[in-house]
Structure 1
């Protein structure tokens, strides 16, 4: 009897194993992230750290990432308090990669509607690439009495140095001036190298420059600088990176230059020279009357030995002039290819729709008296090429309407040319080099072609 019961039990067990499967246990509930809150950040960062999108982070002062990697999740919001900034030192990295749907936003800690340019100091990336100063390193602008502070140093010998990643990010209401020639910008990049990735970044309503590159070789792609108080892209101290898809939209009151390029003020021929290669850019003034605010609004300015290799660009609507090459050291670069303008559309600069406006030489004041005999400018053909040669039709430069009617709208701009724009005629443009960085399909003039890469992740708040 016992033997039969045992057999029956085993048989039932076998039948259970061969029949319908037993339902697996339910999976554990998904791990819930905390609902998040407001996190004040005042301490420096010395190890790998992650800022998550469920929190809002407020910088209370200068926050230095001294070592390790600061990772910022897509969709994270970082608020800059008064006299604050985020500084990635050359012994650390930033990994801030947002998405078009969830951009990372750095903005003012002031309430919406009460935000203004200069509310905080912006984002600073420091690296170990070459700069053209004696000793090979420098102290970044925007700090008082920090000459002995290694955290504010940049420069070295590694032109491939990796400062990290900044992608799909907006930087708003940043930058301030501590003293003349001592400012922080929306994005300040000192001596970062080619492994650094800066792509899809908007700098909006900065109190100083939108982006300033202090030497180094870092490349820039899909950069929108909207309504800066000073210059759009400022570069100096031997910056030699590559740039593609760049928009500068100046404001109508204090906006100064779309590009201000400098070399080394103490030694204009110091190497490396500040000569980046730029393809597919739109430089847009505000179309205000000339000299109405007391601030010159110029398109492209090169001085103290800086140049550019500019291709497939639009320079339009600047109040005072399109191009100003100031000084013999910059002008001389036209003889060696370090100052070239090719496939450029110029339009309506100082209300001129017939020719390309450039600065006269020598410099004279309002009374006509010479103030600077040594400022050998682009128009001095006795030493260097005439502007007609540098900006000539032989370089496929045109004076024609690019049809960017909504590009100066400060609330909802549209940087895409009209369908009939000459900027979209492929034969008017050149093909960017196939070097692994440039997009060779961008055979149009200006920063935006058939598809608007600014759509979806950018914003233009007034305050």
Structure 2
């Protein structure tokens, strides 16, 4: 894979002025910390402390029911790719083991590249993967039938498997965590992937940024999540697949105009991608995430936007997937606000398995705000999806500024709160099932009301941080 180390430097020069006034003091290395290399296998309880920098050269597997505890403010880095070494592998939490990564807004836990500041790239290491014992909808390629567990391939090493029969399985806690420069050139590579992770697990306030492929992947399982940020991911911001049925609220997917998927991936750069199986195998039960208060921002007309890159839709539903999406903002993507790329997935909308309601939608091409792939969908056309959308309290906007977010296309530091009087401040609907229990019943549509929960712990230009 060709790697252009000049690009971050060019971006640094371009953005330095606009970032100078808003970067935090903690971007400077205050003290020299000792560096400790992690082993390839952690098979007993271990705590990583904030007074130490941890590195890894290949992959790290937490196994044998071990608990990996990480203190607030701890930094875990891959090796330096710029120094001539190959990229580091993944960090995997195996079934039965746990990760207890509980940072704070002031002291987030960071998984990042060990390449020197200014030279980091998308895909300097493999990503963080959690495997649990909750059910997955899998396909057994050996038997041609249903499988009860699954893994992800394409990382140059064999990952563990996830899946089981315990929907309440607990794989630990991720809270106030940043994952940067992860993922490799494979469609099954992620910043954070959860495979068969159960609802006993806590995932809150997590950002994945500058990933070579997708930001978050949820494969089967029932884990719920809130306050997630996918920024500058070259493929999808979020992938939901293989029977995932969890609930998520306050979600941001943000596409950087400079970057989309590399050449082999065609029309795969979505904000949200829902499907039953990543390879299109017939699996059951259906994937059906329940999502509320999403803000998905595409590249729109930002400087540097290249229409030749494989940008796609804000919400792309394919390979028989189902979903529920309410109270959300979809804007700035060129090939649809919501798009059905598979006929069975479209039928899920028609028969009521899927729901799309109370959303504010914009597409770069207005006619594609509610659309289908005409070469793959036969049960309903774009006009039919538009009729459904209008009849389910969705609104279409010709211009993104009509939605009324403060400065959504300021990719150096997105300003996603609604302005005074914006339509997004009112109108949210949490009536009926399944919007009871987990969801916080707010009045606003999109990920933000009047409070910016991304403050302090996120970072949208980590090239300049000297960890």
Superposition deviation, residue 116 in structure 1: 1.1
- Higher relative contact order, chain-length normalized (CA < 8 Å, sep 6+): 2
1:393-404 matches, within 5 Å, as 394-400=391-397, 401-404=402-405
The aligned counterpart of 1:31 is: none
> 2:381 maps to what in 1?
379
Between structure 1 and structure 2, the one with the greater Rg is: 1
**Displacement of 1:333:** 1.1
Deviation at 1:380, TM superposition (A): 7.1
Kindly indicate whether residue 59 of structure 2 is the aligned counterpart of residue 62 of structure 1.
yes
1:338 corresponds to which of 350, 353, 365: 353
State the partner residue of 1:306: 321
Are the structure 2 counterparts of residues 429 and 435 from structure 1 closer, same or farther at C-alpha, using a change threshold of 3 Å? closer
| 154 and 402 in structure 1: CA distance in 2 versus 1, 3 angstrom threshold | same
Corresponding position: 1:229 with 2:243: no
Partner of 1:253: 258
Report the CA distance shift for 1:157/1:102 in structure 2 as closer, same or farther (over 3 A): same
Q: 1:311 and 1:242 mapped to 2: Cα distance? A: 12
Q: Is 1:278 aligned to 2:291, yes or no?
A: yes
Question: Are the counterparts in 1 of residues 293 and 328 from structure 2 also a CA contact under 8 Å?
Answer: yes
Residue 36 of structure 1: CA displacement? Answer: 4.8
Q: Match for residue 8 of structure 1?
A: none
Deviation at 1:357? 4.0
Query: 1:366-424, CA deviations, whole angstroms, 9 ceiling, x for partnerless residues?
Result: xxxxxxxx54364178xxxx2134212x3111124222242222211111111221100
Paired residues of 2:372 and 2:382 also in contact (CA < 8 A): no
Unmatched 5+ residue regions in structure 2? 1-30, 80-86, 139-145, 261-268
Q: TM-score under structure 2 normalisation?
A: 0.81
Of 207, 213, 216, the residue aligned with 1:208 is 213
Deviation of 1:327 after TM superposition, in Å, equals 2.0
Q: Distance in 1 between matches of 2:155 and 2:58?
A: 12
Q: Is the 8 A contact 1:57 1:79 kept in 2?
A: yes
Shift in Å at residue 355 of structure 1? 7.3
Shifted more, 136-145 versus 117-126: the winner is 136-145
Is 1:77–1:104's contact at 8 Å kept on the other side of the alignment?
Answer: yes
Distance in structure 1 (CA, Å) of the matches to 2:368 and 2:53: 51
Matched, 1:136 2:151: no
Q: Which runs of 5+ in 1 are unaligned?
A: 1-33, 364-373
| 2:100 matches 1:95 | yes
| Cα pair 1:253 1:293 within 8 Å, conserved | no
Q: Distance in 1 between matches of 2:101 and 2:369?
A: 41
**The one of 240, 261, 284 aligned to 2:245:** 240
Alignment CA distance shift 1:378-1:121 (3 Å): farther
Pairwise CA RMSD = 2.2
Q: 1:378 to 1:163 in 2, by over 3 A?
A: farther
Instruction: Write the distance in 2 (CA, Å) between the matches of 1:248 and 1:298.
Output: 12
The TM-score, its normalising length taken from structure 1, stands at: 0.82
Distance in structure 2 (CA, Å) of the matches to 1:135 and 1:141 = 16
Please give the alpha-carbon distance, in whole angstroms, between the structure 1 residues aligned to 2:121 and 2:38: 21
What SS does the corresponding residue of 2:47 show, helix, strand or coil?
strand
| Structure 1 residue matching 2:346: 3-state secondary structure | helix
Instruction: For residues 81-128 of structure 1, give each alpha carbon's deviation from its aligned partner in whole angstroms, at most 9, with x where no partner exists.
Output: 322221100121000000011110111101111111101111110011
Cα distance in 2 for residues equivalent to 1:190 and 1:299 = 23
SS in 1 for 2:344: helix
Partner of 1:50: 47
**8 Å contact from structure 2 (residues 232, 259) kept in 1:** no
Q: Is the 8 A contact 1:254 1:293 kept in 2?
A: no
Q: Deviations over 1:322-343 (max 9, x none)?
A: 2211222211212443221111
CA drift of 1:71 comes to 0.1
Quick check: 2:127–2:190 contact (8 Å CA) kept in 1? yes
Asked whether the equivalents of residues 325 and 378 of structure 1 are also in contact (C-alpha less than 8 Å), the reply is: no
1:350 and 2:364 aligned: yes
Query: Distance between the aligned counterparts of 2:380 and 2:106, measured in 1?
Result: 45
Q: Distance in 2 between matches of 1:321 and 1:270?
A: 26
2:174 to 166, 169, 182: 166
